[in-house]
Amino acid sequence: MEKYQRFSLSEVVPNSGKPIKKRTVNIEVGSLNPFLNRAVKWDMVSSNPMDGVEYLKEDDSKKIPALSEEEVQRLLKEANGWFRPVLLTALYTGMREGELISLEWDDVDFKGSVIRIRRKSKWIPKSTRRTIRERDIAIPKALADFLKDFRNKKNSSDNRVFRNKDGDELKPGLRKVLMRLTAKCEFPEVTQFHALRHKYAIGVNSLDYSG
């Protein structure tokens, strides 16, 4: 596996000719862990051969900046329709794309003001080598009230929290929606959905829930 890591870093991205980033190699290597852990559980192998393999230090990737308070307010001013509730929830919880897509109303504890990230039959949270990252996220009362009102307006028995403009389940690709929005807001350099997690990490002070 370490030999494969070295080999991958010596390759380039097809078409662009750019070097393969260490994060890409880490994702490829890390994707083996769930399968190998299951193989151990099923007694197909005695141990996970990934144990002891060091991940590469990701020092070659462009840093993702946190959004400024002004940029957040501009995003919210321009966001509308189905994406606005997704954006608000992402900003105030730091949830990943897959977590937002898979979020169900059963995961939202309005009384305790908590969103629970739990595995589903067709989806599991991002995992480390050994553990699935199920966790609870405390949410402010304002967001809890917003989501409760959002659910009441939907007036539906559907357990899925977010759907697209056609009423279908969300699919991976929220980044593209965000990129169109940031371009409209005239800061097109923000291209990563992960930038919303960075804003959550440093705090969101005054989100506007209206609209």
Enumerate the domain spans of the chain: 1-61, 69-202
**In the chain, which stretches have pLDDT less than 70?**
60-66, 127-132, 198-211
Burial category of 79 from C-beta neighbours within 10 Å (exposed 0-12, middle 13-18, buried 19 and up): buried
3-state SS class at 134: coil
Distance from C-alpha of 53 to C-alpha of 165, rounded to nearest angstrom: 44
In this prediction, residue 202 carries a pLDDT of 46
In this prediction, residue 40 carries a pLDDT of 93
Given a contact cutoff of 8 angstroms between Cβ atoms, the answer to whether 79 and 87 are in contact is yes
DSSP state of 78: H
Q: Please name every residue paired with 115 in a beta bridge, in sequence order, or none if there are none.
A: 108, 137
> What pTM was computed for the model?
0.67
Return the biggest CA–CA distance within the chain. 56
Given a contact cutoff of 8 angstroms between Cβ atoms, the answer to whether 10 and 45 are in contact is no
For the beta carbon of residue 167, count every other beta carbon within 10 angstroms: 10
Question: Which residue, chain included where needed, has tokens 């409209």?
Answer: 184
In this prediction, residue 147 carries a pLDDT of 94
Assign domain 69-202 one CATH number from 1.20.90.10, 1.10.443.10, 3.30.420.40, 3.30.300.180. Answer: 1.10.443.10
Distance from C-alpha of 69 to C-alpha of 118, rounded to nearest angstrom: 30
In this prediction, residue 42 carries a pLDDT of 95
Selection from 167, 99, 179, 175 nearest residue 133 by Cα: 99
Selection from 34, 14, 37 nearest residue 24 by Cα: 14
In this prediction, residue 52 carries a pLDDT of 83
Tokens coding 50: 């990934």
In this prediction, residue 115 carries a pLDDT of 96
Cα–Cα separations (whole angstroms), residue 56 to 4, 13, 53, 192? 12, 18, 9, 21
